[in-house]
């Protein structure tokens, strides 16, 4: 916003100086119009910069959430593998137990 204030101050000075020239009100009017337009452009640029920063922050937030989701997925996949291994082991032990019971 310091840049906007600087532009506004400079164009104000230009308008003041052009008003000092006798018979040249059109210069002062033109400078005031340029000042107004320049200020609008500067405000638009600042707004665009603010929105870009906000979008960057949101993108970073989504990226971090996706990273956490990937980590959680990896943990779930690991736990699923471990449960499957234990289930297979238990199935083998139950089958062996029933084989011994039938043999007895």
CA distances from 81 to 29, 68, 71, 78 (A): 77, 20, 15, 5
Domain count, the chain: 1
| This prediction's pTM | 0.54
Residue-level pLDDT, tens digit, the chain, 104 residues:
666 677 777 777 776 766 666 666 676 677 778 878 888 888 899 999 999 999 999 999 999 999 999 999 999 999 999 999 999 999 999 999 999 888 87
pLDDT of 70 reads: 95
Structural domain harbouring 21:
2-103
Tell me the three-class secondary structure of 41-54, residue by residue. HHHHHHHHHHHHHH
pLDDT of residue 52: 96
């Amino acid at each position: 916003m310091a840049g906007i204030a600087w532009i506004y101050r400079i164009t104000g000075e230009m308008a003041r100086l052009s008003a000092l020239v006798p018979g040249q009100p059109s210069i002062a009017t033109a400078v005031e119009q340029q000042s107004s337009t320049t200020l609008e452009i500067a405000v638009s640029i600042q707004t665009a910069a603010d929105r870009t920063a906000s979008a960057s922050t949101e993108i970073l937030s989504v990226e971090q959430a996706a990273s956490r989701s990937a980590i959680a997925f990896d943990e779930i996949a690991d736990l699923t593998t471990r449960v499957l291994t234990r289930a297979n082991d238990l199935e083998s032990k139950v089958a062996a137990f029933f084989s011994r019971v039938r043999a007895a």
